Amino acid sequence: MSRCIEIVGPGTCGRSGHAARLPCPAGRPDAEGGPYCDAHGGLQRATAEAASKWDYLAPTSVGDAAAVELAGQLGLRTQHAYVVIRQVPEEQGGKWLAWRGLGSHMTPVRRYAYGAYAKPNRRGGRKHKRAGQETAATGTLSFPSRVAAEGAAIAVWRAMMRGDVERIRAARGGLLNWSIPVEPLDAPIVIVLEQGDTRSAWDIAVTLERRTRAGLCVISGLRPSGEVA
């Protein structure tokens, strides 16, 4: 006989309870819920618990239980939420640097200078490619202004966000409504550090108002958007 597993005081309820078992696709083990006694939700609660399991919710295309576990844990990190812009000291040129993410996830953003290429025309002169028709490119980490640094960082952030969210969606069988929540921001949180500001980007990030719900931040330290908890 099944015994209710509801926590009561220092132990469990222990009264006679109802358990639920739901078959899962792709050879995954059955999803189980409960058991719970009638006073603690009974069969209805046990069935709802079983129906919330990843192995039951994940589309067949995701694969076996191991693939479900892997896909379900994919999520967004600080590089999906933050753009950091910092001005270097005047004696070092006063230029601006840009990153995506915080802490160990900070990734520098590069500025690309494109070399114009010319070729002979019918009259023997040289015909230059118009702006936007880049050929060889070399990247540098500095920008001449805050506007340039921020614009480049946001452009890189948008492209990265689209690609990463689609990769997560594909791994999850085309759905984002099961497993660890993914809640991409419409625009990054921009942190600006001007000359003389000795704070880290993380110091500032933890003081900002959060844009998304808590999610699993107690466990992961991050919200579903990649924001710090």
Q: Stretch 140-156: mean pLDDT, rounded?
A: 93
Structure confidence at residue 163 (pLDDT)? 95
What's the whole-number average pLDDT of the chain?
88
For residue 112, what pLDDT band results from cuts at 50, 70 and 90?
confident
Whole-number Cα distances in Å, 118 to 6, 131, 177, 186, 209: 76, 12, 52, 40, 51
Could you tell me the pTM of the whole model? 0.80
For residue 70, what pLDDT band results from cuts at 50, 70 and 90?
very high
Q: Is 130's pLDDT higher than 70? A: no
What is the amino acid identity at position 104?
A: S
106: nearest Cα among 141, 139, 72: 141
176: nearest Cα among 78, 77, 72: 72
Report the alpha-carbon distance of residue 76 to residue 179 in Å, rounded. Answer: 13
Report the alpha-carbon distance of residue 196 to residue 94 in Å, rounded. Answer: 11
Q: Which two tokens stand for residue 139?
A: 């990247």
